[in-house]
Amino acid sequence: MDMLLGVVVMLVKMAVVLGVALGLAAYMILLERKLLGRFQVRYGPNRVGYFGLLQPLADGLKMLLKEDIIPDGVDRRIFLVAPAVVAGTALAAFAVVPFGDGLTLFGHRVPQVVVDSNVGLLLVLALSSLAVYGLALGAWTSDNKYSLLGGIRGAAQMISYELALGLSLVPVVMHARSLSLSDIVAAQAGLPFALLEPVAFVIFIIGSLAETKRVPFDLPEAENELQAGFHTEYSGMRFALFFVGEYVNMVLLGAVTAIFFLGGWHGPFLPPIVWLALKVLAVPVFLIWTRASLPRLRYDQLMALGWKVLIPLALLNILVTGALLAAGV
């Protein structure tokens, strides 16, 4: 009976997390289009429903009804699977993201996370590094020069920035003394790590911008150079998977940033879930703001920033944090 209950609770949690993540991602697209519109002194979509609120549904329907074109000369199996890898890894990472201290339902303690893994932080990193395959394989198999260039850029960019990203999280782990996301949030009950580790925070934000392939690091898709980069040849729902994957990634990034650096659901006055939602949304809004503000980096600038600035800085930051912790400050 208990086991059955556990399974049911697990399924419910999965459904909730999936639904919330996908819904947020869909409305993130609308938010981005609206905000970007206002940043550019125009309205953005406002026709479907009030304020364009039904636009994501309309877009989804449109994408579903479009023809799924498989170009000649592509490697069919890889071509068909690649978009799912991008969206799938992004969604899977939500499994380890906690969204509360835990509830007590009917006398049972229910942790508010799908899997509270003691290597949660590494799992997030692993899944984000696996997302490269969707991009690189999709690009390679498209049999298109622009796609290939986009894929090569994407692969190189994501490997380089993953390093900085991982290193920027080391001080967080050093403070929290755990790789579990719940423990990391618990360690920030007092001061969020963004204030304790501002350098790591900045590196993390820059690195994750690059990981999500957003402006100013959108070289893999670079519309004005590569048409659409790695997803040039994709259409219909497969393209939508790439697209939704990007926005799920944005939401994931918001969640992960909130948990690693912004103190998760901790905050005064408001209920915890509201705090978490605010923090989760703050990051994508910042990303959209960035997209409106900054031009794209050149490729060599991108690599120089990653290898010559961020990684040494992250290493130095680890050393300093370690020294301070050892000194017992």
Partner 1 sequence: MTPLGALFYLLAAVLLGAAVLAATRRNPVHAVCCAVAVFLSAGGLMAVLGAPLPGVLMAVVYAGAIMVLFLFIIMLLGLTAGDGPLPTGRLVVPATLAAATLVALFALIGADPTGARLLPAAMAAPAAVGRVLFDTYWLAVEAVSILLFAALAAALLLGRGRSGGRAQPTGGPAA
Partner 2 sequence: MADKKQGVVGAFLDGAAGLAGSYAATMTHLFRKPVTEQYPEYKRPLPARTRGRIVLTRSPDGKERCVACYLCSGACPVNCISMQSEVGPDGRRQAAWFRINFARCIYCGLCEEACPTLALQLTPEFAFCKDDIADFVYEKEQLLVEHGGKHPDYDFYAHAGVAAGGPKGSHIGEDDPVDVKSILP
Q: Which does 184 bind (CB under 5 to 8 A by kind): partner 2, partner 1, none?
A: none
Q: Tell me which residues in 46-75 interact with partner 1 (CB under 8 A).
A: 75
Distance from C-alpha of 129 to C-alpha of 122, rounded to nearest angstrom: 10
Nearest Cα residue to 99 out of 86, 110, 87, 88 = 110
Instruction: Decide: is 136 part of the binding site for partner 1 (CB under 8 A).
Output: yes
Q: Using only the alpha carbons of the chain, give its radius of gyration.
A: 20
Q: Using CB under 8 A, which of 18, 35, 48, 78 touches partner 2?
A: 35
Segment contacting partner 1 (CB under 8 A): 4-12, 130-138, 208-216, 239-247? 130-138
**Which residue, 185 or 305, has its beta carbon nearer to partner 1?**
305
| Range list of H helices, the chain | 2-39, 55-65, 76-93, 120-141, 145-176, 181-187, 193-196, 198-211, 223-226, 236-260, 272-293, 299-304, 311-327
Q: Using CB under 8 A, which of 26, 172, 179, 259 touches partner 1?
A: 179
Q: Which residues contact 301 (CB under 8 A, 6 or more apart)?
A: none
Q: Tell me which residues in 252-311 interact with partner 2 (CB under 8 A).
A: 289-290, 292-294
The strand pair at 108-110 and 103-105 is best described as antiparallel
**Which residue, 176 or 200, has its beta carbon nearer to partner 1?**
176
Nearest Cα residue to 137 out of 125, 127, 147, 126 = 147
Q: Using CB under 8 A, which of 21, 86, 125, 318 touches partner 1?
A: 125
Structure tokens at 324: 């301070």
Place of tokens 């479907």: 48
Distance from C-alpha of 209 to C-alpha of 256, rounded to nearest angstrom: 13
What is the SS3 assignment for 255? Answer: helix
**Which residue, 64 or 294, has its beta carbon nearer to partner 2?**
294
- Binding mask 238-257 toward partner 1 (x if CB under 8 A, else -) reads --------------------
- Binding mask 111-150 toward partner 2 (x if CB under 8 A, else -) reads ----------------------------------------
Judged by the rule CB under 8 A, the positions of this chain that interact with partner 1 are 75, 78, 117-119, 122-123, 125-126, 129-130, 132-133, 136-137, 139-141, 148, 151-152, 155-156, 158-159, 162, 166, 177-179, 298-301, 304
Judged by the rule CB under 8 A, the positions of this chain that interact with partner 2 are 35, 37-43, 289-290, 292-294
